[in-house]
């Protein structure tokens, strides 16, 4: 399944379960997750990938910084995994 299909299905599921979902861009700053999911004072920055794909080195570096601030940056490579996270 394509990354865009996984992202679309998980976002739809999350919205149906009360999450606010925003597409995010960080001009001039590569490697930043491009979605923010918000609910009940929780912010999650998921990274969508095709099944088995891994973040590149720059992404891993940025994700580590975000995690160090206490936020969750899950790698979602299938719809089932994503739907479980946002129920």
* CATH number of the domain to which 14 belongs: 3.40.1350.10
Q: Compare 28 and 49 and report the one with higher pLDDT.
A: 49
pLDDT on residue 41: 96
User: How many other C-beta atoms can be found within 10 angstroms of the C-beta atom of residue 81?
Assistant: 15
pTM over 0.85: yes
Residue whose structure tokens are 């490579």: 77
Q: For residue 33, give its domain range.
A: 3-85
List, for residues 38-50, the tens digit of each pLDDT value: 999 999 999 999 9
pLDDT on residue 25: 87
The model's confidence at residue 60, banded by pLDDT at 50, 70 and 90, is very high
Domain count within the chain? 1
């Amino acid at each position: 399944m394509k990354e865009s299909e996984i992202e679309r299905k998980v976002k739809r599921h999350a919205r149906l379960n009360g999450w606010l979902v925003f597409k995010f861009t960080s001009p001039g700053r590569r490697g930043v997750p491009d979605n923010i999911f918000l609910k009940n004072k929780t912010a999650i920055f998921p990274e969508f990938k095709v099944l088995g794909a891994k973040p590149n080195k720059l992404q891993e570096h940025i994700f580590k910084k975000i995690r160090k601030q206490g936020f969750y940056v899950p790698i979602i490579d299938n719809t089932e995994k994503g739907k479980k996270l946002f129920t």
